A and B are shown apart, each in its own frame.
Chain A
Amino acid sequence: EAGVAQSPRYKIIEKRQSVAFWCNPISGHATLYWYQQILGQGPKLLIQFQNNGVVDDSQLPKDRFSAERLKGVDSTLKIQPAKLEDSAVYLCASSLVPRGSTDTQYFGPGTRLTVL
């Protein structure tokens, strides 16, 4: 079974530029998560989708971050414009069904973003 795929793996941009990340979850997984992990910290949930609807985006900086999950499968996360403090690893995860929060999450390898 293929795991969660993410691209690109690395991205370096100047501040104020825009960037987009792509995630392909495990086939059949209804729930998709985007996390931001700053160096030395744990992952922070940015947004959670169930199929193509948003379950939780309370910690998504909506003035600059946006995400979509068209057709309930792939997802993209965009930052526009980027700030220095956005430098982090962006992790995508998926789970089979959102049984409360008991479902195991499967993580992709992440995209390491550096904003100069």
Chain B
Amino acid sequence: SQQGEEDPQALSIQEGENATMNCSYKTSINNLQWYRQNSGRGLVHLILIRSNEREKHSGRLRVTLDTSKKSSSLLITASRAADTASYFCATGGGFKTIFGAGTRLFVKA
């Protein structure tokens, strides 16, 4: 079974707007990662946040983690058409990394 659940399932925005995706999980974790998948391709690692971190930035990406609520959010600022992709959260605990079902983001030019 998949632990992470992304919300929303799909998101459509205009270029230049911000996109926020959320991930909820059920059990304790060591870390949480976000990956991007362009249509027909493999996944690309975006960012990793450890369980003792609350926020992390990488370029136009901002990730938050709230372990008390078992949730994380990914914010993409000033979105571009090239950001159109599926975004997955992956929770890590022990040797296992479990992926959620993903949020499909469509950025209109």
Contact = CB atoms under 8 A, between A and B. Distances in A.
Interface of A: 4, 35, 40-45, 48, 55-56, 91, 93, 98, 100-102, 104-110, 112
Interface of B: 2, 4, 30-31, 33, 40-45, 48, 50, 88, 92-102
The 10 A-B residue pairs with the shortest CB-CB distance in the complex, in nearest-first order? A107-B42, A101-B92, A42-B99, A107-B43, A101-B97, A104-B45, A43-B99, A42-B101, A109-B42, A102-B31
13 contacts: A40-B101, A41-B101, A43-B88, A43-B99, A45-B97, A45-B98, A100-B93, A100-B95, A101-B30, A101-B96, A101-B97, A102-B92, A109-B42
Given A108-B42, A109-B41, A102 B101 contact: no
B42 A55 contact: no
